[in-house]
C-alpha cells in the first residue's frame, strides 16, 4: 500500500517575514512550497496538507472591524473568520499545486475540506488566552484596540511587537476524518484542518456551535495524522532541523530526537513557545499515539531522504 503522509505547512509557506501579504506574495510562496511536495508525490505518497492562518485570519478580523465602523456591515465571530481563511488559503494551495501537477503531467484532484474540530468548552485555555493572531502592533496601538474591542494583547516573545491573543483549546476530534482518509487513500490530495480547524463545541447534546478560539495548527495536524492512521507526519518550518542552543556558539542540530529527550529539552526551554516548541509537542503527540515517526524540516529538504529531525519513540 502507498504511504499516507500528513504535511503541515509552516507560516513561511504562505507569508514570509517582512512581507505585506499581497496575493502575489502569498501565491509565490505557496508555489515554492508546493514544488517541494513533488518529491513526495513522485515517491507515490498519498498526501493530506494542513496549514496555518494567523496573518490571514487577523487581516479578516481587521476587515470586519473596518467594515462595521465604516459601512455598518455586521461583524463575524472568529470561528466564521477561520472558515473564511480556510477557503481562501485552500484555494491558493489548490491552484498552485494543480499548476505544478499539470506541468509535470500528473493527474490528481486537489480538494479543500473546510474542517471543524471539536473542543471542550470547559478547557482551561479559555481562562488564559495565549494564541497570537494577526499583525504586530506598537504598545500604544494594542492598548487602544484592547480598550475599543475588549480583546487581549500580549507582547511577542521575540520583541517584534504586540499581537492579539485568543484561547487555544486542545483539539479532541477532527470533523470529516473518515472522508479525509478515504479520499486521500484513493489518491486525491486533500487540504484540511486549515489554521488548526474551526473550533466547535456541543452547546447542548447533538448541537454543535462555533467558539471564539484558535486551535494550534501543529497539534491539530498531529491529531489528524493520528486519527486517519497516517504513516508519516511532516512538519515544515523555516529551518532544516531542530536545534538545541539555537543561535548560540554551542548550537547543535539534531538528526534524531527520541520523545524522552524531546520532553527534557522542552522543560529546559530549548524550544521557543511561539516557534519550535509547538512543533516538537505536536511531533511527540503523534509519536506517542502511533509509535511512528514525525519529521520536522524545511520544505526544500524533502528531496533528501535523510532530511530534517526525526522524532522517534
Annotated active-site positions, please?
A: 11-12, 131, 217, 279
Q: Taking a C-beta distance cutoff of 8 angstroms, is the pair 296, 237 a contact?
A: yes
Q: Taking a C-beta distance cutoff of 8 angstroms, is the pair 169, 126 a contact?
A: yes
Cα angle, residue 90 at apex, residues 84 and 92 outer, rounded to 5°: 110
Q: Taking a C-beta distance cutoff of 8 angstroms, is the pair 197, 8 a contact?
A: no
Q: Select from 202, 203, 200, 181 the least CA-distant residue to 192.
A: 181
Question: Residue 102 CB: number of other CB atoms within 10 A?
Answer: 10
Q: At 36, phi and psi to the nearest 5?
A: -70, -25
Q: Using CA atoms, how far apart are residues 7 and 45, in angstroms rounded to an integer?
A: 11
Burial class (CB in 10 A: 0-12, 13-18, 19+), 112: buried
Q: Select from 249, 252, 244, 167 the least CA-distant residue to 210.
A: 167
Q: Using CA atoms, how far apart are residues 115 and 144, in angstroms rounded to an integer?
A: 34
Q: Is 247 helix (H, G, I), strand (E, B) or coil?
A: coil
Q: Is 305 helix (H, G, I), strand (E, B) or coil?
A: coil
Question: Helix 177-185 to helix 217-227 angle, to the nearest 10 degrees?
Answer: 70
Amino acid at each position: 500500500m502507498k504511504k499516507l503522509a500528513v504535511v503541515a505547512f509552516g507560516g513561511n509557506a504562505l507569508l514570509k517575514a517582512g512581507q505585506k501579504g499581497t496575493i502575489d506574495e502569498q501565491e509565490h510562496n505557496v508555489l515554492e512550497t508546493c514544488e517541494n511536495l513533488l518529491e513526495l508525490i513522485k515517491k507515490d505518497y498519498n498526501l493530506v496538507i494542513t496549514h496555518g492562518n494567523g496573518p490571514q485570519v487577523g487581516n479578516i478580523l481587521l476587515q470586519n472591524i473596518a467594515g462595521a465602523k465604516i459601512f455598518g456591515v455586521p461583524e463575524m465571530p472568529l470561528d466564521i473568520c477561520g472558515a473564511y481563511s480556510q477557503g481562501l488559503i485552500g484555494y491558493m494551495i489548490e491552484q498552485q499545486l494543480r499548476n505544478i501537477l499539470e506541468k509535470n503531467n500528473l493527474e490528481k484532484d486537489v480538494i479543500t475540506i473546510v474542517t471543524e474540530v471539536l473542543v471542550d468548552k470547559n478547557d482551561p485555555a479559555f481562562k488564559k488566552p495565549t494564541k497570537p493572531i494577526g499583525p504586530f502592533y506598537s504598545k500604544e496601538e494594542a492598548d487602544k484596540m484592547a480598550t475599543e474591542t475588549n480583546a487581549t494583547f500580549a507582547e511577542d516573545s521575540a520583541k517584534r511587537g504586540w499581537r492579539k491573543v485568543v484561547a487555544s483549546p486542545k483539539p479532541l476530534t477532527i470533523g470529516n476524518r473518515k472522508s479525509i482518509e478515504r479520499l486521500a487513500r484513493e489518491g486525491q490530495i486533500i487540504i484540511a484542518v486549515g489554521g488548526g480547524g474551526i473550533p466547535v463545541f456541543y452547546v447542548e447534546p447533538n448541537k454543535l456551535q462555533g467558539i471564539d478560539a484558535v486551535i494550534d495548527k501543529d497539534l491539530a495536524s498531529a491529531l489528524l495524522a493520528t486519527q486517519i492512521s497516517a504513516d508519516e507526519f511532516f512538519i515544515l518550518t523555516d529551518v532544516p532541523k531542530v536545534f538545541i542552543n539555537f543561535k548560540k556558539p554551542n548550537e547543535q542540530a539534531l538528526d534524531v530526537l527520541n520523545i524522552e529527550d524531546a520532553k527534557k529539552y522542552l522543560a529546559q526551554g530549548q524550544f521557543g513557545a511561539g516557534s519550535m516548541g509547538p512543533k516538537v509537542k505536536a511531533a511527540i503527540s503523534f509519536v506517542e499515539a502511533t509509535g511512528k515517526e514525525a519529521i520536522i524540516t524545511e520544505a526544500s529538504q524533502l528531496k533528501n531522504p535523510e532530511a530534517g529531525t526525526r522524532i522517534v519513540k
